[in-house]
Amino acid sequence: MSLSELIAGVEEHEKTLTVFNAEEDAVLSELRERFADRNVTVTSESTPSGKPGEFVTLSENGEVLTATSLSDLEQMLAETDAAMGLSDSPYRPILDHMDDTMFTSWSIEQMVQASREIEDRAWRVGEGTVHAGFQYLSTLRGELPVYERLASKDLDIHAYGAPDEDPPENEGLTLHIERASEIEESWFVVFDGGESAAGRGDTANATDNKCALLAEEREPRQFYGFWTYDPDTVDWILDYLESTYGAVEQ
């Protein structure tokens, strides 16, 4: 299975956010706009009695994954960027079930924002391994200050790009210069959560910090893909990159 096939597999699992007993149509319009670029359908229903008030459920294939009050969801969206799903959010339960959620037609700006969250998490943990795909070496050149800063920590940084120019001089990065089409088409940032923490027996902390962003450019400068905090998915991406492209330093 390739990176593109993994994205396609996640894309098949559309989720449904159902809003119950909402009194104002504006609430539904706002939520539909908020989730318009993701693989989530927003619908509305009413209970016969109107109780227990306004609440939402998140379901997949007819199975309810989680539920929360509408006010809690609105507060979550107001206080955090739902696309990032920060681990310290008090509303993490509903975000947990948004793991592996597709986004569609993300712009460069949105992709950078999502990448920065993972980079910031790696910086705060201060150890572990980060794999980042930039499509081309020319793009990597512009991001060198960010990734050299990460490399100044106890972080093993692997950067991937197709050779559209000479490899940039750098400090602390392992470069993977690849002519594979999926490298040219893919944008990814993957953090293993700090595996040395797991080696010290702190496996829960390492697992909690695993995260990944994986997308492909299907239209010019528009990206389709997903983000995830699921450790198994993160491990699969890491294993795939390491087994397919190795750790050859250029």
**Model pTM score:** 0.73
* Mean per-residue pLDDT, 16-40: 84
Cis amide bond preceding 163, omega within 30: no
110 shares its domain with 210 = yes
Instruction: Considering only residues 43 and 87, tell me which one the structure prediction assigns the higher pLDDT.
Output: 43
pLDDT at 91: 36
59 shares its domain with 109 = no
* Domain assignment present for 54: yes
Share of the chain above pLDDT 70, in %: 84
**What does DSSP assign to residue 168?**
P
Residue-number span of the structural domain to which 26 is assigned: 3-98
CATH number of the domain encompassing residue 55? 3.40.30
What's the total number of domains in the chain?
2
Q: Average per-residue pLDDT in the chain?
A: 83
156 shares its domain with 44 = no
Q: Under DSSP, is residue 95 helix (H, G, I), strand (E, B) or coil?
A: helix
* Domain assignment present for 36: yes
87 shares its domain with 180 = no
| Last residue of one domain, picked from the residues 33, 65, 98 | 98
- CB-CB contact of 205 with 199 (8 Å): no
94 shares its domain with 159 = no
81 shares its domain with 107 = no
- Phi first, then psi: give them for residue 192, nearest 5 degrees: -80, 0
Please determine, for residue 39, whether its predicted confidence score (pLDDT) is greater than 50.
Answer: yes
| Last residue of one domain, picked from the residues 98, 132, 167 | 98
120 shares its domain with 59 = no
Tens digit of pLDDT for each residue in 97-111? Answer: 555 566 777 888 888
Tens digit of pLDDT for each residue in 99-142? Answer: 556 677 788 888 888 899 899 999 999 999 999 999 999 999 99
Lowest mean pLDDT among 23-37, 77-91, 191-205: 77-91
Tens digit of pLDDT for each residue in 188-246? Answer: 999 999 965 444 345 556 788 999 999 999 988 889 988 888 899 999 999 999 999 97
58 shares its domain with 110 = no
| Last residue of one domain, picked from the residues 82, 98, 114 | 98
Alpha carbons 160 and 162: distance in angstroms, whole number: 7
CATH number of the domain encompassing residue 190? 3.30.870.10
83 shares its domain with 134 = no
Please determine, for residue 84, whether its predicted confidence score (pLDDT) is greater than 60.
Answer: no
pLDDT at 197: 45
Tens digit of pLDDT for each residue in 19-29? Answer: 999 888 888 88
Please determine, for residue 40, whether its predicted confidence score (pLDDT) is greater than 60.
Answer: yes
* Domain assignment present for 250: no
Tens digit of pLDDT for each residue in 155-187? Answer: 999 999 999 999 999 999 999 999 999 999 999
163 shares its domain with 241 = yes
Instruction: Considering only residues 153 and 196, tell me which one the structure prediction assigns the higher pLDDT.
Output: 153
* Mean per-residue pLDDT, 25-54: 85
208 shares its domain with 127 = yes
94 shares its domain with 112 = no
* Mean per-residue pLDDT, 30-55: 85
Alpha carbons 247 and 2: distance in angstroms, whole number: 18
The H-or-E segment that residue 8 falls in is helix 3-11
186-to-59, 170, 200, 216 alpha-carbon distances in Å: 29, 22, 33, 4
Tell which residue, 107, 109, 99, has the closest CA to residue 210.
99
Task: Give Dmax over CA atoms of the chain in angstroms.
Answer: 68
- Phi first, then psi: give them for residue 26, nearest 5 degrees: -60, -30
Residue 181: CB atoms within 10 Å: 11
pLDDT at 93: 46
